[in-house]
Amino acid sequence: MNSDSKRRHVISQENLPADIAHLFNDKYPKGFNDLLPDLVKYSPGVNPRTGKMIEPFYAVTIETDSDIYLVKIKVDIDNPEDVERWLEGEEEAEAEEVAGTAGAPEGDDTLPDDNISQYGGDDDSSDS
């Protein structure tokens, strides 16, 4: 059956029927880490039946012989832009900048504090 003639469904991950949940678990055995590359943000806009705005959501697709399921994935976020940046891989670059590791010169093995005597103690037995 080609995908044009398949029935289409939108359903939350929590409400998947057992057989579709099994397919979901087979496709994404490691959970969120596995589905992350397939996660797509949908911004449907206005519901034509009610005229109300539909909130954007994230989803993946599960396909059977007769149906295509758009499975909504609950993504708890404080700032949607943070998720977008993370999905695009920009967060790692920012984390490196904050940690001071981005652009660090190669081979620079100096300690951040040159007063290393503060790290020694009286119980150091290597001095004997």
pLDDT in tens, 62-85: 999 999 999 999 877 656 677 777
Residue of 78, 96, 101, 83 lying closest to 41 (CA atoms): 83
Residue located via tokens 């708890």 = 76
Q: Is the pTM of this model over 0.75?
A: no
Q: What is the pLDDT of residues 13-27, one digit of tens each?
A: 999 999 999 999 999
CA distance 57 to 77: 11
Whether 7 shows a pLDDT value over 90: the answer reads yes
Per DSSP bridges, beta strands 67-73 and 7-12 are parallel
